[in-house]
Structure 1
Amino acid sequence: MGNHHNHNHHTVEGKNLLFSIVLNLVITIAQVIGGLISGSLALLSDALHNFSDVLSLVFSFFAHKLSKKKASVNQTFGYKRAELIAAFVNAITLIIVALFLVYGAIERFFNPQHIESELVIWLSILGIVVNGLSAFMLKNDADNNLNMKSAYLHLFTDMLASVAVLVGGLLMKYLQWFWVDSVLTLVIALYLLVVGFDLLKKSTQMLMLFTPTHIDVNTIINEVHKITGVNKLHHIHVWHLNDDELHLEAHLECQEDLKVSEFNTILQQIEHVLFNKFQINHINIQPEYNREEESKDIIVQD
């Protein structure tokens, strides 16, 4: 069986995540106290969202550390999928928090309360600074890692929520529009639902070993079949182990009864095509010649 590994990893900075955890813990405590004193549901909502972020960031941090552990005979892939589990859980927490905020916003909308807007304004500014800085530190990692993207989305939506709370605080202070508090909370919640469901969809697809959306299996087959000596590629599976590793395993029916050294030449060409055209960096090919099988379909559920 041919086996090929081609890594092009992006180094994720776990220390940035740890610093974000500390910052968000501080802002969460401040917003809870401020929300209780001021009576602002939007501020308490932002605090609740921040608290969920602290938990999610802690989970992401430990998942990131686990993913770096070396493989063993008992864990042959190591803990590389830990970050996918973290992203999945973080997506669920985003959705749960959003639904809670929707309920609170609707209830408060029909029962508006006087709010100490001055405190809301200053704490929202603090939230913008803290969450903005945290999101900025994770932005580069988020572009290359789904777990870090889940953490980044938590922080970025927190920053947007704080901006909305600031606007609401100013409207309440100068126009006495206390109903704005409920409207802003609802807007924050709806945004969380959108990003939460998108992240949940992507992490679920990876955990279920679905073929990545940018991969067309038929196109892969057409490209491989152009290589001299190849008869038929079948029994194909393509999946993400994590954000860095895209795997393909398949059976390859050869046109002739080849020596191992001759098959290696074909394998190298296949590796080149799959990596350069599809970014597949882990390839396992089982060579065959006139082998009788019940099925030689493209996709076979083993």
Structure 2
Amino acid sequence: MSHSHNHNHSHNHSDLKGRNLLISILLNIIITVAQVIGGLLSGSLSLLSDALHNFSDVVSLMVSYIAERLSKKQASLQKTFGYKRAEILAAFINAATLIIVAVLLIIEAVERFQNPQEIESNLVIWLSFVAILGNGFSVLLLKKDSQSNMNMKSAYLHLLTDMMASVAVLIGGLLMKYFQLFLVDSVLTFAIAVYLIIMGYSLLKNSFKVLMLFTPEDIEVEDIVRVVQDIDVIKNVHHVHIWQLNEEEIHLEAHIDFKEDITLSEFDVILHKIEDLVFHNFGINHVNIQPEFGKCDDKHVIVQD
């Protein structure tokens, strides 16, 4: 038997998320085109690398937007969970692209470091300033939702790191203009890439854990077993599975051995008590319990395939 505590966002909030993503996509398309043209004209690797990152932003934002739309689709007989995991999958894809882009930037930075070239710094300065404004606005649009949604966080990180990259490019352009330090172009590109790898790996790891149905890090299975077993009529809790379906749903599945052969109505009362306990103590909002009495199975196995 199962029950769930539902905490769905309103349609208005979801529409706002979609609108913000669309605005960010449009801004990054404009920035990418401008930086590619400017990078080719000026010969700036950091500007071209920033354009590459902006293009990855466009792709990641599109992935995030599609996933956000899919996540609202209703479940069906063939898709009993609907597309609730679409946003987690999008976060995983976007995190992977962050790391891939970073590796490409490192390769390019090393090659340019070995063969530095003179760069038209004025164009670099102005285009990086435009990118800072565009990405900064997009970052503000997505910041609130990024705190509670892994998909939006992946899009937010793409934009935040690109804004930081543009700041680095601007600083590099100023140093090249006034001090002729052309090597700084490669150094800044390398630094940006390292930061991307650090941020991308963290998000990749977290989204991977959700996709693999790992128990959330802040939940201890033993603590849940102890809390539930403290209920008088419960003898044993075993065969426990805990997983996070998406940003809003954490599921608990378990077998519970009762001390007495209770009635179905009595079990229903206990089930509601279990649901309240695990929801308020551990944030678990979907509970599926298999009741047992005198069944011959291993009661000492808490977790089993």
TM range (shorter): over 0.9
Return the letter of the residue paired with 1:7.
N
Provide the residue aligned with 2:6 in structure 1.
7
Aligned to 2:71: 67
1:105 to 87, 99, 109: 109
Residue 193 of structure 1, CA deviation: 0.4
| 1:82 aligns to 2:86 (yes or no) | yes
Per-residue deviation, 1:294: 5.0
Query: How many Å apart are 1:4 and its aligned residue?
Result: 1.4
Q: Paired residue for 1:182? A: 186
Q: Which residue of 1 is the match for residue 176 of structure 2?
A: 172
Gaps of at least 5 residues in structure 1 are: none
Counterpart code for 1:151: A
- In structure 1, the residue matched to 2:22 is 18
Q: How does 1:97-246 map to 2 (within 5 A)?
A: 97-246=101-250
**SS of alignment partner, residue 113 of structure 1:** coil
Q: Which residue of the other structure, out of 287, 292, 295, is the alignment partner of 2:291?
A: 287
Provide TM-score, normalisation by structure 2: 0.96
Q: CA deviation at 1:37?
A: 0.5
Structure 1 residue aligned with 2:277:
273
Letter aligned with residue 179 of structure 2: L
Q: Distance in 2 between matches of 1:62 and 1:36?
A: 32
Report the equivalent of 2:45: 41
In structure 1, the partner of 2:252 is: 248
Q: Distance in 1 between the 2:94 and 2:187 partners?
A: 25
Distance 2:143 2:224 in 1: 32
Distance 1:267 1:8, change over 3 A: same
How far apart, in 2, do the equivalents of 1:36 and 1:270 lie?
63
52-61 vs 287-296, which moves further: 287-296
1:300 pairs, out of 275, 298, 304, with 304
Provide Cα deviations, 1:25-58, integer angstroms capped at 9, x if missing partner: 1100000000000111000000000001101110
In the comparison of the two structures, how many residue pairs are matched? 300
Structure 2: distance between partners of 1:25 and 1:147: 20
Can you list the C-alpha shifts for 1:259-283, whole angstroms capped at 9, x where unaligned?
1110111111111110001000111
Contact 2:105–2:189 (CA<8 Å) still a contact in 1? Answer: yes
What displacement does 1:9 show? 3.6
Give the Cα separation in 2 of the matches to 1:263 and 1:26. 60
Tell me if structure 1 keeps the 8 A contact 2:109–2:187.
yes
In 2, distance between residues paired with 1:231 and 1:139?
47
Q: Deviations over 1:212-245 (max 9, x none)?
A: 1111000111111111211111111111110111
- State the SS of the aligned residue for 1:233: strand
- 1:241 and 1:7 mapped to 2: Cα distance? 13
Residue 211 of structure 1 aligns to a residue whose secondary structure is: coil
Q: Which amino acid in the other structure matches residue 233 of structure 1?
A: V
Aligned equivalents of 2:284, 2:22: Cα separation in 1: 31
Please give the root-mean-square deviation of Cα atoms over the aligned residues, in Å. 1.0
Q: Is the 8 A contact 2:25 2:62 kept in 1?
A: yes
In structure 1, C-alpha distance between the alignment counterparts of 2:35 and 2:103, rounded to whole Å: 20
Q: Which runs of 4+ in 1 moved over 4 A?
A: none
Structure-1 separation of matches of 2:140 and 2:5: 30
Query: Structure 2 CA distance, aligned partners of 1:105 and 1:162?
Result: 16
Q: SS state of the match for residue 288, structure 2?
A: strand
Alpha-carbon distance in 2 for matches of 1:119, 1:230: 72
Q: Distance in 2 between matches of 1:120 and 1:280?
A: 50
The alpha carbon displacement at 1:8 in A equals 2.4
1:92 aligns with 2:82: no
